[in-house]
Chain A
Amino acid sequence: MIRFILIQNRAGKTRLAKWYMQFDDDEKQKLIEEVHAVVTVRDAKHTNFVEFRNFKIVYRRYAGLYFCICVDVNDNNLCYLEAIHNFVEVLNEYFHNVCELDLVFNFYKVYTVVDEMFLAGEIRETSQTKVLKQLLTLNSLD
C-alpha cells in the first residue's frame, strides 16, 4: 500500500504531497525533509529504491523533479516504478509537455490527477486514456 506520494524539486520545494496515512503537520514536514535528504544525494548510478524508516521509497527523477512513492517493504518496487512513469505520462499528456511550472501553477489539478489514478493508497486506474477522458470531463465542470 502507498503511504504517501511526494513530488519535490531539487531544492526540496514540495510540488505535491499526498498522504494516505495519518500524520500530524510537523511529522509531515519532517518526512518531506527526510525524503528530500535521502533522495537527492543519490545519483544516476544508484537504484531507484531507498529504505526509509519501516517503509521504502520508490522514486524517479524527471528533469529537476523527484517523484517519490513511499510503499510497504513487501510491495513490488518495479511495479511502483512503472506506476510513477504511468502517472508522469498522464501528466505530460494532460498539460501538453509538462514542466515544473505547470505543476506549480496548477497544483490543485495535479491532486485531481493523483485522485483519478490512485485511491486509498492503491492503484485505481491504469489506463491512461480512461484517466485523461475523466480529467477532461472534470475540467469542463469548472
Chain B
Amino acid sequence: MNTDSGFNPGLNMATIRQAINETIERVRMPTPTRLRDLIRQIRAAKTQAEERAVVNRECAYIRSTFREEDSVWRCRNIAKLFYIHMLGYPAHFGQLECLKLIASPKFTDKRIGYLGAMLLLDERQDVHLLITNCLKNDLNSPTQFVVGLALCTLGAIASPEMARDLAGEIEKLMKSPNAYIRKKAILCAFRIIRRVPELMEIFLPATRSLLNEKNHGILITGVTLITEMCENSPDTLNHFKKIVPNLVRILKNLILAGYSPEHDVSGVSDPFLQVKILRLLRILGRNDPEASEAMNDILAQVATNTETSKNVGNTILYETVLTIMDIKSEGGLRVLAVNILGRFLLNNDKNIRYIALHTLLKTVNVDISAVQRHRSTILECLKDPDVTIRKRAIELSFALVNAQNIRAMAKELLIFLEKADPEFKAQCSSSMVLSAERYAPTIRWHLDTLLSVLIAAGNYVRDDVTSSTIQMISSSPANEQTYITVKFWDAIQETQDNQPLLQVAVWCIGEYGDQILYDSELEFTNERPTESTIIDLYNKLLWSNQVNTVSKQYSLVSLAKLSTRIKNGQNNIKEIIEMFGSHLNIDLQQRGVEFTQLFGPYKHLRESLLEKMPAMTINRINGANSNGEMIGEGEVIRSNSSDKVVNNGNIRSNTDTLLDLLGSGDDIISSSSFTIPTSTPAPAATNNLLDLLGDIDLGAPTISVNNNNNNNNSATSPITMSILDDNENTKIPDVTTMFNINGSSGGNAQANNSNYDLGDFLSSPTLHNTSAKIITVFDKNDLVITFATSRHNDDYIEVLMSTTNNSMDTLEQYLFQAAVPKSFQLQMMSPTGSVLLPGGVITQEMRVRSNSPSAVLRMKLRISFVCNGNPILEQAEVSNFPDV
C-alpha cells in the first residue's frame, strides 16, 4: 500500500525490511492450509465424527498460530475459523484476533476483521468496547470503502453504549456528499434510534433534505428512518405531517415515470420504495382526516394502475390496501380495497390467498358486510392443503358467523372439524360452542350442534365444551332434554373411547334416565334401552380400560342418580357401587363408600339428595366481541366468585357440605335442607356422617379456583366439586339467601330483605367509606343503577355498583357487565344476586386499576335481565366518573 508514495529512502528501507521479515516468517512457519482446502477436507468427511476430527485439528492449529502472533496468515486463519463457526462449532477464541485485523491498515484484513466482528462478537463481551474505538477511527477514514465497512458493522452490532458513543459521527456522515456513505449512515441512524430512542433528536435536522434526493437508495433509507422516528414519538409524527405532499409526489413519479432499467422489478418501478412510502403514509394518515384527504387520490391511482399479474404488483396493492384501511380514507376507496382483497382470495398464488385472509381478518371488525360477500371463498380455503391458510380461514370463518348464516356455516365448519388436525380441534370446537350459544336459531338445533361437535372433535375438546353442553342441556325444556338424551344414548352405543361425549352422555342418562326408559313415544335408531341394558353399559364403562378416571367419576355419580330414576334394579346398582368401595383410585373409592351409605343406613336421604338438577343459569358473557372497540382482550371479566368460595369454605355448615357433596342443584338443596332435620330419625348419626364427609371435604378446596363455569360439574364429581359447585350457596350459610340468589322460582319479601342485607354485608367496607362519591349512571324504566366510587390506598378505584328495581315486576337473570378502555384493568367481584324483586337491590363491587396515570376512566355497561319472560338488554356508557 505504501509503495507508490514517491521517493522516500527511509520509507523504502522500512518497506524492504518488512518484506524481508515476512519472507523469513514464511520460511520459518509452514504454510497453513488454504481456506479452500479446509472446506474440501470438511466436505470430504463422511461422518459427523470425521468432520469433528478435521475441525478439531484445524482449530488446534489456528489456536497455536494465534499464540505465536502470526500476523502473516492471520487473515486466512480467521477466515477458516468463520467457516468452522458457521458449521456450529465454537470459535470465540478468534475474537481478539478479529480486533487485530480491524486495526490493520490493509483493506483485506479489515474486511475479514469486520466480518468477524459481526459473526463472532456478542454485545456482552468486553471486546465490544475495544471495537468502538476502531469503528470511530474508520468512520473518519478518507477511503469510502473503509467507512462503508465500519457502517455495515455498526448497523449489525450496535449496542446501546456504542450507539451513544458514535451517534455524532453518524450524524456527520449522514450529510456526506457521497451517496454510498450517506445511505449507509442513514440506516445506521435508524439502528441507533432503535437501540436508544432518546438519540433521535440529533438526527432530526439531517432528515430534512433526504426526501429531495433523486437517488433511490437514499430515498428508501430516508423513508425507513423517518418511519422509525414517527413511530417513536407523537411529536415527531406531527413534525413530519408536512412531508405528506413530498411523499405523494415521489410515489406519483414512481408510477408515472415509465420504464427505468435501474430500479425495474418485473415491470414495476422500485416496488420496495413504493411499499416503504405507502407504509409511512399509513402512519402519517392514521387518525388524521386532513393528511388522509391528501393521500386519497394517489392511493386510488396506485390501486388502479398497478399491474397485478405478478407478485411485485400484488406486493404494492397489499400495502395500499393496508394503508387505505388504516387511514381515514373515503368510503369508495375502502370498497375498492376490500374488492382487491376479494380478488386476492381467488388468486392462484397461495401466498396471495394467505395475505388476503390475513388482511380480511384485520378488517372484519371494520366492515363485516364487505367481508361477508367473500364468505364462500373463505370457506373454500378451509380445504386448502396449507395449514397456515386453513388456520387463517378458520379464524375468519368464525368471525363471519352471525344469526342469519349460522346454519349453513355450522354445517361447513362441522365438516372441517371432523377432518381437522388435532391442533385445530380444540380451538375450533370451543369456538363452535361459543358461536352456537350466541346465534343458535332453536334449542334443538343448538343441542344437535353441540352433540355433533362432541362427536367430531372427540377427545380433543377442551373441558369448557363438556361443561357448557351440560349447562345447555340442563337449561333446556324437558322434551328437548329427553330428545338429546336419546341422541347421546345412541351415540355412545357406537363408540366409547370418546371421553367428553361419554361424560355428557352419562350425565344425561343420570339426570333424565327415567324419561328415556319409560316414555313410550320415543324413537330410537338402535334398540330401545331397558334398565338392564343401561346398567350393563355402566358396568362395562366403569371397568373398561378405555374409559378414563374422570369419565368413571361421571359414570359413578350418574349411576347413583339413576338408582332413584329406575323402577327396579336398585340392587344391581348397589352392587356395582359397593364394589367401588375398594377401588384402587382413591377418588372413585371415596365415591363408592359414600354412595354405599345412601343405600344403607341413609337410604331415606337418597331420593331427595339425588333429585334432578335444576336448570343451570348461563352466566357466560358471550357478547364480548360485539361490544365494539372499547373491550380489549381479557377485560371482560366473568362474574366469578370462586375466590370467595374458597375463603368462605370454612364457615359452611355441615348440612351444606353434605348437600353440596351430593351435588344437587340450588333449589333442591334449599328445599331439602328444610326437610332434613324433621325427617331424620337418628340425628346423632347424621351428624357423624356429616362430620365425616365434612372432614373429607375440607381437604379439597384447592381445586375450585379456576373453575369459571361454576355450576356445570356439580352432578358429576361431587366430592371435589362440593366447594365449587354453586358458589352462592357454599358461600353463604343462610339458606333463605341462597334460595333467593339462585332463585329461579321467584322469591318473597323475606328473601328480598336478606338479599338486600347480604349486599350490605358484602359491601360494607365500601359503604362505610365516607369518601365514596355516588353517581347515577343509568335510570330507565324504573331501573336505577348507581356507582359509589372511592379510591383505595392509591392502589385501585373501588366502584360499588348498586341496582335498584323500582318497578312492580320481578327481574330475573339480572346480569351486569362492564368494560373499560385498554389503559385500565377491571376486576369484577361477584354480584349479590341475579333476581331483582320489586324494590329489590343488587350490588356488585368492581375494582379498577389504571395502567397509565393520564388516562381518563370510561366504562361501557351492558345490562341484561328477563322481565315477564322477555329478555331485555340495555347498554350505557359512563364517562363522568368523579375525581377520587
30 A–B pairs (Cβ distance < 8 Å), ordered by A: A17-B86, A17-B119, A25-B122, A32-B88, A47-B353, A47-B388, A51-B388, A76-B318, A78-B318, A78-B351, A78-B352, A78-B355, A79-B271, A82-B265, A82-B272, A104-B43, A105-B39, A107-B83, A119-B156, A119-B188, A120-B156, A120-B158, A120-B187, A124-B217, A126-B217, A126-B265, A127-B262, A129-B261, A141-B145, A142-B107
Task: Kindly state the separation between the CA atoms of A120 and B611 in the bound complex, as whole angstroms.
Answer: 71
Task: Kindly state the separation between the CA atoms of A107 and B389 in the bound complex, as whole angstroms.
Answer: 35
Is A19 on the interface with B (CB-CB < 8 A)? Answer: yes
Task: Kindly state the separation between the CA atoms of A127 and B216 in the bound complex, as whole angstroms.
Answer: 8
Q: For B697, what are the chain A residues with a Cβ–Cβ distance below 8 Å?
A: none
Query: Given A50-B388, A77-B355 in contact, is the A138-B122 Cβ separation under 8 Å?
Result: no
Q: For A17, what are the chain B residues with a Cβ–Cβ distance below 8 Å?
A: 86, 119
Q: For A97, what are the chain B residues with a Cβ–Cβ distance below 8 Å?
A: none
Is A65 on the interface with B (CB-CB < 8 A)? Answer: no
Q: For A130, what are the chain B residues with a Cβ–Cβ distance below 8 Å?
A: 217, 262
Query: Given A78-B318, A78-B351 in contact, is the A47-B311 Cβ separation under 8 Å?
Result: no
CB–CB A126/B273 < 8 A: yes
Task: Write the nearest CB–CB distance from A109 to chain B, whole angstroms.
Answer: 10
List residues of B whose CB falls within 8 A of some A CB.
Answer: 35-36, 39, 43, 79, 82-83, 86-88, 90, 92, 107-108, 111-112, 115, 118-119, 122-123, 145, 151-152, 155-156, 158-159, 180, 183-184, 187-188, 190-191, 194, 216-217, 220-221, 224, 261-263, 265, 270-273, 275-276, 279, 311-312, 314-315, 318-319, 322, 350-355, 385-389
Is A10 on the interface with B (CB-CB < 8 A)? Answer: no
CB–CB B156/A81 < 8 A: no
Q: Which of A16, A25, A45 has the most CB of B within 10 A?
A: A25
Q: A residues 12-31 with Cβ under 8 Å of B?
A: 13-20, 22-25, 29
Q: Which of B118, B263, B353 is within 8 Å of A126, CB to CB? A: B263
If over half of A's interface residues share one DSSP class (helix, strand or loop), that class is named, otherwise mixed; here it is mixed
B192 and chain A: residue at smallest CB distance: A120
The contact string, 1 if C-beta is below 8 Å from chain B, for chain A 1-18, is 100000000000111111
Task: Kindly state the separation between the CA atoms of A106 and B184 in the bound complex, as whole angstroms.
Answer: 24
A131 and chain B: residue at smallest CB distance: B217
Task: Write the nearest CB–CB distance from B666 to chain A, whole angstroms.
Answer: 46
Task: Kindly state the separation between the CA atoms of A124 and B385 in the bound complex, as whole angstroms.
Answer: 36
Q: For A105, what are the chain B residues with a Cβ–Cβ distance below 8 Å?
A: 35-36, 39
Task: Kindly state the separation between the CA atoms of A23 and B68 in the bound complex, as whole angstroms.
Answer: 31
Q: For A47, what are the chain B residues with a Cβ–Cβ distance below 8 Å?
A: 350-351, 353-354, 386, 388-389
Ordered nearest first, which 7 A-B pairs have the shortest CB separation?
Answer: A120-B155, A120-B191, A78-B315, A119-B187, A115-B152, A119-B155, A45-B385
B278 and chain A: residue at smallest CB distance: A76
The total of chain A residues at the interface (CB under 8 A) is 53
CB–CB B152/A127 < 8 A: no
Task: Write the nearest CB–CB distance from B216 to chain A, whole angstroms.
Answer: 6
Q: For A16, what are the chain B residues with a Cβ–Cβ distance below 8 Å?
A: 86
What 10 additional pairs, Cβ within 8 angstroms, besides A46-B385, A107-B86?
A22-B122, A46-B388, A47-B388, A79-B315, A108-B111, A111-B115, A120-B191, A126-B216, A126-B265, A127-B262
Q: For A50, what are the chain B residues with a Cβ–Cβ distance below 8 Å?
A: 388
Task: Write the nearest CB–CB distance from B618 to chain A, whole angstroms.
Answer: 35
Task: Kindly state the separation between the CA atoms of A14 and B85 in the bound complex, as whole angstroms.
Answer: 10
If over half of B's interface residues share one DSSP class (helix, strand or loop), that class is named, otherwise mixed; here it is helix
Q: For A127, what are the chain B residues with a Cβ–Cβ distance below 8 Å?
A: 216-217, 262-263
Q: Which of A16, A78, A121 has the most CB of B within 10 A?
A: A78
Query: Given A108-B115, A124-B217 in contact, is the A49-B351 Cβ separation under 8 Å?
Result: yes
Task: Write the nearest CB–CB distance from A110 to chain B, whole angstroms.
Answer: 11
Q: A residues 49-80 with Cβ under 8 Å of B?
A: 49-51, 76-79
Q: For A124, what are the chain B residues with a Cβ–Cβ distance below 8 Å?
A: 183-184, 187, 217, 220-221
Q: Which of A32, A79, A83, A125 is within 8 Å of B319, CB to CB? A: A79
B179 and chain A: residue at smallest CB distance: A130
CB–CB B122/A119 < 8 A: no
CB–CB B184/A119 < 8 A: yes
Q: For B123, what are the chain A residues with a Cβ–Cβ distance below 8 Å?
A: 22
Is A122 on the interface with B (CB-CB < 8 A)? Answer: yes
Q: Which of A13, A19, A115, A120 has the most CB of B within 10 A?
A: A120
CB–CB B220/A126 < 8 A: yes
